[in-house]
Amino acid sequence: MFADGTVVACEQDYNAKLAMGRVTDSLRFKDIWTSSQAAAVRQQIRDNYKEVSFCRNCPYRDRETTDVSIQAHYINKDIDYETLFS
């Protein structure tokens, strides 16, 4: 996610060519990440990666795993992360 709230599927999309949306006071990250626009972006990356500029030069292209799930790391034990964004 960029400083202005723009959400992208990949850190390599530094020009936000395939932006999924922008977090605002009324639009949460969770809503963007699970949206039909986000699904379309992920499908385009998965099915047409050779046509996506930042995928063609991906430094992770040759990795052994295809797992692209998000992993959360909870740093501050005093914050209730489960309810923070709900």
| Average pLDDT estimate for 4-24 | 92
Backbone angles phi, psi at 85, to 5 degrees: -110, 15
Is the model more confident about 21 or about 55?
21
Predicted confidence at residue 39, as pLDDT, reads: 92
Q: Encoding tokens for residue 37?
A: 């626009």
Residue 28 pLDDT = 93
- CA–CA distance, 40 with 17 (Å, rounded to integer): 13
- Residue 83 pLDDT > 90: no
- Tens of pLDDT, residues 36-51: 999 999 888 888 888 8
Mean pLDDT along residues 23-40: 92
